[in-house]
Structure formats: structure tokens, C-alpha cells
Structure 1
Amino acid sequence: MNFWETITGSDLTREWKALDARAEALPNDFRAAWDEIKAHLTPYGDFTGRNLMPLLDSALGLLEESAADGLTIYQVVGDDIVGFSAALAGGEGARNYRDKWRAQLNANVAKKLNRLGG
């Protein structure tokens, strides 16, 4: 990855297309679960989503191997895809970008208040 790809995000576009091409080979129920996993992992991404690529690649690999082994989607992720996605992102209560921004805003406001009051 070179500087230009990093700035424009063309490397991410290429990776997303590669993941989607791999997902097309999955059975329908696995593909539906894949779409839900992507949707539920998105809030845990940073501004670019670059930190999610390894998680998505691993999740897709798990789905591919499980489908090849003849397992059902419920044997793999259960019936709680939201919980499965949260566990992939670091467990229940994992910080997403809103939490990080909220903490940063609170810290900035506290600094301003300390300057005014002290």
C-alpha cells in the first residue's frame, strides 16, 4: 500500500470488492448473515473503516469454512448476530466511534470549565 492509496482509500475499495466477491460464493443463508455482520460491525469502525478489515476478513473466513464443512449458519453464529458481531469487535460493551467522540468532547469541556473556574 502506497501513500496515494492510503489517502484516496482505493486500497479499501479493492479489499471491500474482494470480500464481496468471496461472499457471493456463500450459500444464501450465510450470505444474509454476512450482510448483517457487516452492518453490525460498522459502528465499531474508525473514520475510514480500516480497522475493520481484519475482523471482516476473519469473519468471512469463518463463514466460508463453516459452509464448506456443511454446518448451518445457526451452528456458527447462533441466533444472535448482533451479539456475535459485538464479540468480534471486542466483546459486549466494546467502545465504538460514538463512545470515543463522546469521551473526547467531555474531556474538552472539562478542560474549558477548569480554566474558567480556577
Structure 2
Amino acid sequence: MSIQDIIKGKKEWRAHVARVKALPQDYRIVYKEIQKYLFKVGPVELTDGTGLLSGIVDLFEEGAASGKGVLEVTGNDVAAFCDDLIKDSKTYADIYQESARQKVNKAMNKDKGKTK
């Protein structure tokens, strides 16, 4: 990654944050919770830019412009809203689960060799 890429990424992130700050307060609160949720359990691709997060801001800007409350846009279960957004994406949870499975299988196979 070149210095130009880093600078471009920072500019894009600052513009994204400015869009979030321009949202009504209820939208900002829910956006921050969505962001936290996605950073914890979210898709691996989330770190590849702000595509998903920008899409959420787009949706929120449209909802706010049409006078809807944020929960009219997301539904009452914001975590379910997030899960639906990432349902077809590989998540960090998936990677961790696969790693744990592999370690258990390796340990179990190693123990089987010792008992013979």
C-alpha cells in the first residue's frame, strides 16, 4: 500500500464520518451501534473500505430525508438488521469457528494415534 493509498483512504474515511455527523441524532446513535456490531462480528470485507458502511449511511440519509424514524428503516432488532446485511459474507466469527474446529480435530487425531 502506497502513501497515496493511505492518504486517499483517510480522506474517504473523513468524508464518511462527516456524512454520519450530519445525520439526525437517533440515526447517529443507531449507526454507531451498527458500526460496533459489525466491527466485532462483521464481515472480513468490512476492512476493505467503507462500502457496507457507506451503504448504511445512504439508507439512513434517505430515511431521514423522507421523515422516517431510524427504527422504521432498520426495524426494532438492529442486530438482526446487521445479520441480514452480512448473511452471505464470511465473518471473523466464521474464521474463528473454523480455526477452533481444526485445532480440536488435530488434537483428537493426535490422541487417537497415541492410544493405538
TM-score by length of 1: 0.73
The residue type paired with residue 95 of structure 2 is K
Deviations 1:19-65 (A, max 9, x none): 1110111111111111111111112143x842472211111100011
- In the alignment, structure 1 residue 28 sits paired with structure 2 residue 36: no
Q: 2:2 matched to which residue of 1?
A: 4
Secondary structure, counterpart of 2:68 in structure 1: coil
Q: 1:64 matched to which residue of 2?
A: 61
Secondary structure, counterpart of 1:71 in structure 2: coil
C-alpha displacement of 1:76: 0.6
Residue from 79, 84, 93 that aligns with 1:82:
79
Counterpart Cα distance in 2 of 1:102 and 1:16: 31
C-alpha displacement of 1:11: 5.0
The answer to whether the Cα contact below 8 Å between 2:43 and 2:90 also exists between their aligned partners in 1 is no
| 1:51/1:44 CA distance change after superposition, 3 Å | farther
Aligned length: 112
| Structure 2 unaligned spans of 5+ | none
C-alpha displacement of 1:4: 2.1
Choose 1 or 2 for highest CA Rg.
Answer: 2
Counterpart Cα distance in 2 of 1:74 and 1:31: 12
| 1:17/1:85 CA distance change after superposition, 3 Å | same
Q: Percent identity?
A: 29
Q: 1:102 matched to which residue of 2?
A: 97
The residue type paired with residue 62 of structure 1 is L
